[in-house]
Amino acid sequence: MTLNPELETGLDEDRDHNLSIPDSEAKLLLIEYYQQLYENKLKTLFNLRPIIDTRNGAKTHESYYIGEPMRDRILDIRNKDDKPVSWKPYGDLLKSVRWMDTFQSLLTGLEERHQIASSLKPPLTDLEVVMIDNTNKHFDIIREVIFSNASNMKRQSPKPYDHDDELQKLHDDVEAAFQDYGEAQRQLEALQKNGLSKRSKANNSALKASRAAVKATKA
């Protein structure tokens, strides 16, 4: 998987050093997910609203949402009038986003769409077939984004953690969660030819494992 070099936030020299490691990686995963939607000409399944920091704690920003990705603005944040946010407010908004919480909100939204798609029973209408196909394409993308970046996340420290360091526990928890995710991915590939219901079950297992990885990074 390739990213626009301008958008490689979180892996090397382009890492946002003002963010915590989990937030920096979550920002990368979000950008890459929308980048892949753009490259594959897929529409978003829902409008993801950013979760931001406020004086009263974290909350969903009801006035903005991430719309369809564009070439020059992969995270196309729009206001309640469906108009693109101008660059100055856009930059200010990005500084207040809680990326890990927003990424987890994306996973929750995808899981909800998956539950709707997997609950459909034959005979299916043409629209239902298209909806299931689109949902599965989004799942394929989010799995690939998380799975392909797992090793990069685990290699980000220039030296081994001390085992008595809290970061070691964080590192170990994330690695274990991604190993669980990898097993779910292998199960999905093994079952993929056996029909929608089995693929749906494995898909859901893979998503739950990826959400476990997110929770591990927030530990």
pLDDT of residue 87: 79
Cα–Cα distance, 70 to 198 (Å, whole number): 34
Q: Which residues contact 113 (CB under 8 A, 6 or more apart)?
A: 45, 46, 135, 138
CB 146 within 8 A of CB 104: no
Q: Does residue 195 or residue 212 have the better pLDDT?
A: 212
Q: pLDDT for 35-77, tens place per residue?
A: 999 999 999 999 999 999 888 888 999 999 999 999 999 999 9
Q: pLDDT for 92-124, tens place per residue?
A: 888 899 999 999 999 999 989 989 998 999 999
Q: What is the DSSP string of 170-203?
A: HHHHHHHHHHHHHHHHHHHHHHTTS-HHHHHHHH
* Kind and range of the H or E run holding 57: strand 57-60
